[in-house]
Structure 1
Amino acid sequence: MVYSLLCLDHYCDKAETQDPKPSFLETPVQITPQSLDAVRPSMDKALSANNFSAMWQLKSRYGITLSAAQLKELLWQSLPPSFHWYVAPSAHNKIRMALDLMTHDDASKWVVCDFLKEVLQKKGQSETTVNLLVGSKMLSENALKETLNYFISRGRFHDAKAIKEQYSVSINSSKLEDELVKAYESGKSTCDLERILSLYDKDNEYCIVTLREILKTVATQPQDYSPELLGQNRSNFFDNYMKFINALLSHGVKEQMAVDAAMAKAVSTLAHKGLKWAYELKTSYQAKMDPAKLRVAMDKAVDLNKLFLLELITPFFANGKDAEEAIIGSLERLASKPDQYFGDYRDAKETLKKQLEKFDCWSLKAVNTLIKRAVENNDFYWAEELNRKYNAYLDPETLKNHILKEAEYVKRRGHTQPDYLADLFAPLKLIEHDNPGLPNAIQAAVDQICTMESFPLQQRVVNELIKFSDNLPG
């Protein structure tokens, strides 16, 4: 014992912070309690000299550990003003050895908890030191929660998850909400969202309610059909929105209103990516959408000349009747577009024919509009096809205007052969003979032709129109 004390006095002259190397002093010695009391003051001497080697030897040889008061003194002495890169390793090493030398009692536990608070308040806190305190297994539940929040706020989700798994401490609903809102607003990656969501207790009702509210709030924010909804850069609104909603849904967060709202926003992108996601929401989460909003989307697809989207949108309707009505409405809207919308009449004709054949449903309003377009462009072949296949009929006003236009053309050209009147009379077989407005339209055309400047075929035109009128029912 005397020899050991002499050696300890020698060590006290050289304060060390590195792990002491094993020596013969570490061989256990059996001594009486009275002798142990005589040795304990050496721990105070080693502590005052900051001699970690001597303290380690005392613990190793005699089992003497730091009291709570000694631990507190040593820890606070080791704490630097701030954890700069050049002081952090030394401070970390001193703290680690102090924890190795402490007594595992309640008093020391509260010292470690108080010390943690001091560390967290220091500038440039050292995560390694915080982890060291966690590893001591001396932290209270409140201290562990504070450490968990510390790691979360610094984006150290791996360390936070380790605390949750080892000590069953999870993020509370308030912190969960703050972190998710912050992650959404800053456009955090899916991995970060998954890490945040892994930190809450699945049985915590407050967290479950919070997640539902966040999902509903984000999903229902008003931004449908806006230019920002589907930007071109990586951080655009819709990508962030879709990523966030998917992360919550994949963790079992259930809120049907939010799912339906997300589907509506996905459809409103009028882009393949958005519509693909909408289909996933429909099939995986039973998302539904108001038929009126789907019809608005189809109308906008027509207005933007994105006709290929119509086939992608129609499966979202809950029933075939609603889908058919929407298709017919889109066809009617498309039929009323000017030739310039398609490029020219030839393109318009091809596009409209494809739409009719693709969906195999139409309305009289749609096909009657198309036969009118055909006659206005003297495309009697297609007009007759529309009449034959879809029972399309020309309206009296369009017939009258066509007759007058062709009569003016024949007059201007000075044609004398009746064959040149074929285009003038062609539409007469494309109109319903029992149309109540037809007689007046024919009479109006006759009256105006009679007032024209005389031309060779004028009387022939008048006679044919009167003959046609006389053969009408009634």
Structure 2
Amino acid sequence: MVYSLLCLEHCDKAETQDPKPSFLETPVQIPPQSLDAVRPSMDKALSANNFSAMWQLKSRYGITLSAAQLKELLWQSLPPSFHWYVAPSAHNKIRMALDLMTHDDASKWVVCDFLKEVLKRGQSETVVKLLVDSQMLSENALKETFNYFISKGRFDDAKDIKEQYDVSINSVKLKEELVKAYESGYESGKGTWDLKRILSLYDKDNMPCIVTLRDILKTVAMQPQDYSPELLGQNRSNFFDNYMGFINTLLSHGVREQIAVDVAMTKAVSTLSHKGLKWAYELKTNYQAKIDPAKLRVAMDKVVDLNKLFLLELITPLFANGKDAEAAIIGSLERLASKPDQYFGGYRDAKQTLKKQLEKFDCWSLKAVNTLIKRAVENNDFYWADELNRKYNAYLDPETLKNHILKEVDYVKRKRHTQSDYLADLIAPLQLIERDNPGLPSVIQAAVDQICGMENFPLQQCIVDKLIKFSDSLPG
């Protein structure tokens, strides 16, 4: 009787259409009868796919689908070609079946079995989400669903299960997903984003997971640079970005492995890039990363050879102590001072660059400044040579002095100058040499002998006299 009254008007409606509130709220006039007499009506409504009638029976009498009825309805809802896309009709049938079921153990196992079937067929994640939201899944079913969402990359759905049901990823699955995230991130650049979501799925007190994270951090940090000679290759520039992002994410989640951060710092320095060196400093500052000073000195030499001098001040703070840093700076300055003018673009550029390096680091060696004063004299830049002598105690070596004298003599001879004023550039370097240098007298005498052996020219004797006078004024 109930079935007839309910179906008369609604049987011709779409089988998956939700009942309207007005229908549910309108009382149906039927004679009083026991619930046992009404229950067969649920079977009839089920066989006719009349969800409106089923909803009315539940609303009016509290009659719900038995486990057997629920199973029949759920399995009927599976379309023959059920895949990631589920037709709205099938999706609605499953949703309403779950709303109409009885919350008993038998129905719970029906839902769990149905979930297994859905997962086996690789079904739509939206259907799986419906089954999770039913709160009828067993612990094993929840774990299976949790892993299913992870395998599909639905990390947010997996996180919802973890937060609601306290299910967490195990160490084996964690390792698998981390490796996958790193490899996919190298190709797509999305590895860091996936990694952050994966790291939200493990139990922070799970020691096997903690050990796995440390191993992953170490493995990634120490992996060979197979992609290019340097981490920043021309065609693999995103490799370092992913490498850096992956390690930073693990470190920011509390994963610690000192060997890993030390290796990462070494690789960061090897990039010889602004980005890499900034990261190396962050690793040193935030995670006490250390690097072999010899490797930093090699990096500084390479920076000089590649004319990337702006990177020198990013490398020097990476030394563990000031003594090593100062030694490296002096070494780089000595290397820089020995570079030819063409390296800088000409002597004027060389002078500006070298002066800037001296002032920036405020440390030097006699070898470096003596090389610089030699360059200045060779370019007749006596103003800078005098400055180097006064500020840094730089001195000209005797051999360079001799070569300069002979060069100026040749110039004066060719020009046939007769005024002694033209000898200023010849005489100026005599003030830039250590007067007590034991090799100086013999060098002056050799220069005098060579000048005397030349063909006569106007200022020949004047030059010889000045040199002999200088030699006589030397100590001893």
TM-score range relative to shorter protein? 0.7 to 0.9
Moved more, 150-159 or 205-214: 150-159
Moved more, 452-461 or 107-116: 452-461
Q: Which amino acid aligns with 2:257?
A: E
**Alpha-carbon distance in 2 for matches of 1:30, 1:292:** 94
Paired residues for 1:33-72 under 5 Å: 36=36, 40-72=39-71
Q: Is the 8 A contact 2:268 2:277 kept in 1?
A: yes
Structure 2 match to 1:219? 221
Structure 2 match to 1:143? 141
Aligned equivalent of 2:161, options 160, 163, 176: 163
Change beyond 3 A, Cα 1:391–1:39: same
Structure 2 match to 1:340? 342
**Alpha-carbon distance in 2 for matches of 1:11, 1:136:** 31
**Alpha-carbon distance in 2 for matches of 1:348, 1:200:** 58
Deviations 1:1-48 (A, max 9, x none): xx32544786996583333442535999673xxx72x65555444444
| TM-score calculated relative to the size of structure 2 | 0.86
Structure 2 match to 1:455? 457
Structure 1 match to 2:113? 114
Structure 2 match to 1:183? 181
Paired residues for 1:277-316 under 5 Å: 277-316=279-318
Change beyond 3 A, Cα 1:86–1:396: closer
Structure 2 match to 1:266? 268
Moved more, 434-443 or 137-146: 434-443
Change beyond 3 A, Cα 1:326–1:60: same
Aligned equivalent of 1:441, options 416, 440, 443: 443
Moved more, 136-145 or 46-55: 46-55
Structure 1 match to 2:376? 374
Structure 2 match to 1:4? 2
Q: Secondary structure at the match of 2:136?
A: coil
Q: Is the 8 A contact 2:262 2:289 kept in 1?
A: yes
| TM-score calculated relative to the size of structure 1 | 0.86
Paired residues for 1:405-444 under 5 Å: 405-444=407-446
**Number of residue-to-residue matches in the alignment:** 467
Moved more, 201-210 or 239-248: 239-248
Deviation at 1:117, TM superposition (A): 2.1
Aligned equivalent of 2:196, options 194, 197, 209: 194
Q: Is the 8 A contact 1:26 1:60 kept in 2?
A: no
Deviation at 1:234, TM superposition (A): 11
Stretches of structure 2 lacking an aligned partner (at least 5 in a row): none
Deviation at 1:449, TM superposition (A): 3.5
Q: Is the 8 A contact 1:28 1:60 kept in 2?
A: no
Deviations 1:230-289 (A, max 9, x none): 579997233323322222222111222222333333344444433433333333323333
Structure 2 match to 1:209? 211
What percent of counterpart residues are identical?
A: 84
Deviation at 1:167, TM superposition (A): 0.6
Q: Secondary structure at the match of 2:240?
A: helix
Deviation at 1:460, TM superposition (A): 4.2
Q: Which amino acid aligns with 2:135?
A: K
Stretches of structure 1 lacking an aligned partner (at least 5 in a row): none
Deviation at 1:372, TM superposition (A): 0.5
Deviation at 1:393, TM superposition (A): 1.3
Q: Which amino acid aligns with 1:24?
A: P
Q: Is the 8 A contact 2:268 2:280 kept in 1?
A: yes
Computed over aligned residues only, the root mean square deviation of the Cα atoms, in angstroms, reads 3.3
Q: Which amino acid aligns with 2:125?
A: E
**Alpha-carbon distance in 2 for matches of 1:251, 1:49:** 55
Structure 2 match to 1:79? 78
Structure 1 match to 2:89? 90
Moved more, 363-372 or 250-259: 250-259
Change beyond 3 A, Cα 1:130–1:26: farther
